[in-house]
Amino acid sequence: MPGPPLPPDPFRDALLSSARFWELRRILYNLILTAVAFGWIAVTWPHFRPAFRWNSVPPLAALVFFANLCYCAAYVVDLPLVSSALAASWRSRRWILWLLGTLLAVLFENYWIADEIYPYVS
């Protein structure tokens, strides 16, 4: 026999709303960053050929981890706004935060490849 219904939990509702929005878009975020990396490799292939070694995998995995860790920063902005009186207008505009964050990640990725990786691949 089920017990009495639980009272609504505002934090849980905000967390679910944020997760539904952000985690679906994380896939597109990662695909965009992957496309940028493959674009660099395709355009400068002869230069990057020596970089394809097994010892390159751990640093690459670390960069992927940090890119996804930075993606989680959106929750710091989103959760308070979804829980506030501005929730309705914020939900319709939070795609702007996603777009700006993704563009910033692409900018960092291009800088990192052009300045930190590209010159040192021989």
How far is 52 from 63, CA to CA, in rounded Å? 16
Neighbours of 98 (CB within 10 A): 18
CB 29, CB 99: distance < 8 Å: no
Who contacts 77 (Cβ-Cβ below 8 Å, separation ≥6)? 97
Q: Could you read off the pLDDT of 96-119 as tens digits, one per residue?
A: 999 999 999 999 999 998 888 887
For the chain, the structural domain boundaries read: 11-120
Find the helix packing angle between 87-111 and 73-82, rounded to 10°. 170
Q: What is the pLDDT of residue 68?
A: 96
Quick check: 36 and 110 in contact, CB under 8 A? yes
Q: What is the pLDDT of residue 122?
A: 62
How confident is the model at residue 52, as a pLDDT?
Answer: 83
Q: State how far the Cα of 65 lies from the Cα of 71, in Å rounded to an integer.
A: 10
Q: What is the pLDDT of residue 102?
A: 98
Q: Return the structure tokens found at 75.
A: 């929750």
**How far from chain centre, in Å, is Cα 10?**
25
Low pLDDT (below 70) residues in the chain: 1, 122
For position 59, what pLDDT does the model report? 86
C-alpha 86/C-alpha 90 separation (Å) is 6
